[in-house]
Amino acid sequence: MGFTEKQESLVKESWEVMKQNVSELSLRFFTLILDIAPSAKSMFSFLKNTDEIPQNNPKLKAHAVKVFKMTCESAIQLREKGKVVVADTTLKWLGAVHLQKGVIDPHFEVVKEALLRTVKEAMGDKWSEEMKGAWTEAYDQLATAIKDEIKAEA
Ligand code: HEM
Ligand code: ISQ
């Protein structure tokens, strides 16, 4: 529960580093999702009719960046407001999108694993158990909010 100042700074710090390399990391993040759960591929509209993960797909990049950013920003809001808040959109809308795409609870574990591995690879020496804990907490809070919304709308 909760999100400490230290955790917030760890998430912010890693996001600052990852920002510089966001195209590559977005692709890596998505590749990891499909490595862990190949069947998830068919859910993504931007991958329909392609056999491979497009190496330079602007839609894929934009989506993946949003997910990264949202996790980071909602972590910050979590400290400031004490609840999950997402920018540009609403949790209701996020719930609706994921419900419609057939996203279920176990998928969230897949995305979590892929996210943590992406951050780990990106941070290299700076990666620590504490940083892992911070990203885990940030992601779990956001994931729980989306899952609750999916359940409310289903
Ligand atoms: C769409 C975020 C978890 C699959 C989206 C969109 C956002 C988002 C922002 C809308 C993208 C856009 O229209 O620009 C998140 C966040 C997650 C999460 C923050 C976790 C905290 C998941 C999981 C899955 C998933 C677990 C299942 C593997 C999808 C799919 C779409 C989508 C299939 C629709 C993409 C399309 O074809 O247009 N997600 N997502 N998401 N998400 Fe997630
Ligand atoms: C949407 N939701 C979750 C994860 C994603 C990764 C890449 C592109 C879109 C995504």
Vertex 130: Cα angle to 17 and 26 (nearest 5) = 35
**pLDDT score at 87:** 65
CA of 133 to the centre of ligand 1 (A): 22
CA 133 to chain CA mean position, Å: 15
* Ligand that comes closest to the CA of residue 108: 1
Instruction: Decide whether any atom of ligand 1 lies within 6 Å of the 84 Cβ.
Output: no
**pLDDT score at 88:** 58
pTM score, two decimals? 0.92
**pLDDT score at 22:** 85
Helix (H) or strand (E) holding 119: helix 105-123
**pLDDT score at 81:** 75
ipTM of the complex: 0.96
d(CA 80, CA 127): 25
User: What is the mean pLDDT, run by run of 10 residues, along the chain of 154 residues?
Assistant: 85 90 88 92 81 75 85 80 72 92 95 96 96 94 92 88
**pLDDT score at 1:** 52
Residue 92 carries which side chain, given as an amino acid letter?
K
